[in-house]
Chains A and B, each alone.
Chain A
Amino acid sequence: MTAQRRTTIIAGACLAVSLTACVLLQHRLDQIRPESTIEDVLYIDSPKVVKRASLGFDGLMACMYWTRTVQYFGHRHYELSHTYNELAPLLEITTALDPHLMPPYQFGASFLAPAPPNGAGQPDRAIKLMEYGIEHNPDNWHLYYDLAFVYYTELKDYKKASEIFDRGSRVPDAHPFLKVMAAQTAQHAGDYTTARLLWSATFDTAREKQIRQNALEHLRAIQVDEDVSHLQAAVTRFGERTGRLPSSISELCTTEHLPGVPVDPDGNAYTMTPEGRILVENPDNFPFASKGLPPGYKRSGLPKFHTKL
């Protein structure tokens, strides 16, 4: 064996062993310091400084910050965290870097506004973000829709929601349903029909799969809430008329002239407790339903989407 060949073999073996050792050690280090990969820290929280530091390549920097925002939210959401301290600053930096980047506004509103653990519980920051978006993209009707949505669903400020829908309806090429929504929210705010109209519009107009799936889950939840409300009202009427509770849901349906035992969106019949409480069979399948849940029911883990698009 020549000296050169010997050196090649030894150096090659050293390289392979060192590389394997580095990978294994890195793996061990990640296990020792699991929190080190995603930190709840923003070293630079000034959008202006980040914009200057990007040396004019702010479009790419915005994409990087948006990806970081998605990762941050996803990580905290997965951990069922109740604090999202860096979410609003991350979204503000992203939109300051590129005010025409739409996903941070559209997803940002739904990340920021809902109460934890579904969101950061910061509807005021969501509104600020959306207003900033509208200021820089005044002809994008989607932004008005998303802003009105925050007012409607999170703040229950139906008058303001109606105003925003109306503002959006005047944008050139705005979807005609904004006009309908403006009138509907003004007259029938808070009812199931309006809520269904809102989520249906979201489902029909959104391009992103996640938003459409979220809308579909809300539509299923509205169906459950409405069904349970009607059945619970029927139980009350039955009690007032007969002085007792119905012995079964079948008796309730017969005496109240309901067309068969009603079923939830999954096709499972609603049940009734001996105390006359209407329940949905699998509450975990309706993560956004507020009615038909067993007493003391707590959601196990993250809301799971049970429908496939």
Chain B
Amino acid sequence: MSARILHIARNTFREAVRDRVLYNLIAFALLLSGAAIFVGQISIDIERLVVVNLGLTAVSLFGVVIAIFIGIGLVSKEIDKRTLYTVLSRPVRRWEFIVGKFFGLAGTLVVNAFFMAIGVFGALLYVAHKFSKPDALILVALYFIILEFLIICSLALLFSSFSSPLLSAVFAFSLFVIGSFADDLRGFARMAHGFMRWIATGAAYLVPNFSTLNVISAVAHQQPLSAQLVLQNTLYALFYATMALSGAVLIFERRNLK
């Protein structure tokens, strides 16, 4: 990775920290410790499940919200503040700017997820009093959540490269929702006929498949995950993020910034 991309990524990370993005960790800690302490008193026999389900769901949702709301402003904010012109007047290519922003945002989310993961394991230790071997599967679920972040970051950047922040947020969040229904979309495509079948199949393969990256329930029940799934999901997320990022670069390269 070129030093220029690294510099942009590091600055993006610093800016996010300065924007108090990591404050969400406080809300996360309160949510999880509250659940760990109180669920045992208001429910029956699901303390461990709640900690795993709630912890991983919160990691995922907090991350998605941060990815969307930071990601959509990454380009437009630089244009509004006119700092983009300062950056691009130096020997920095436009694609390097986009890729640097992507890595900076992804890095922020990884650091955020890392601290949240510590919280999840801490809460788990509190309710179960010890770790068991299948608890290591939580790490796989966290890894899939990070893959999900990569896709969301790239999509937010893609929309941010040609649209206003508000519209970018709407597009990115809509794709997140649609992507959660990816399996249903494929099922619908199988049932459709003629031209509709083509359209539905095309849409089903074009939207990101977030349902395949969501293994929270399986991990909560300590069900094993195959190495094939890990490999295929990794490749899928990397290719999808690359695709969206390439789109962002293509648009941004041609964008008239005057």
Contact = CB atoms under 8 A, between A and B. Distances in A.
B39 A60 contact: no
A103 B217 contact: no
Contacts of A62: 53, 217
- Interface majority SS on A: helix, strand, loop or mixed? helix
B43 A59 contact: no
A59 B216 contact: yes
Interface residues of A, number: 22
Contact of B180 (A56, A60, A208): A56
A100 interface: yes
A210 B40 CA distance: 13
Instruction: Determine the main DSSP class of B at the interface with A.
Output: helix
B143 interface: no
Interface string A93-109: 00000101111000100
A60 B46 CA distance: 11
A63 B45 contact: no
A183 interface: no
B211 interface: yes
Interface in B187-210: 210
Contacts of A102: 45
A107 B180 contact: no
Instruction: Count chain B CB atoms within 10 A of each CB in A60, A66, A107 and give the residue with the most.
Output: A60
A107 B54 CA distance: 22
A103 B220 CA distance: 14
Residue among A56, A57, A208 with the highest chain B CB neighbour number at 10 A = A56
Nearest to B214: A56
B127 to A, nearest CB: 13
A52 B184 contact: yes
B61 to A, nearest CB: 8
Given A63-B43, A71-B42, A100 B53 contact: no
B50 interface: yes
A62 B181 CA distance: 18
Contact of B214 (A57, A67, A98, A208): A57
Given A55-B177, A60-B54, A70 B44 contact: yes
Contacts of A56: 180, 210-211, 214
A60 B49 CA distance: 8
A63 B53 contact: yes
B49 A59 contact: yes
B161 interface: no
Given A57-B57, A57-B216, A103 B42 contact: no
Contacts of A208: 44-45
B43 A67 contact: yes
Given A59-B57, A66-B43, 9 more contacts: A56-B210, A56-B211, A56-B214, A57-B53, A59-B49, A63-B46, A71-B42, A100-B221, A103-B45
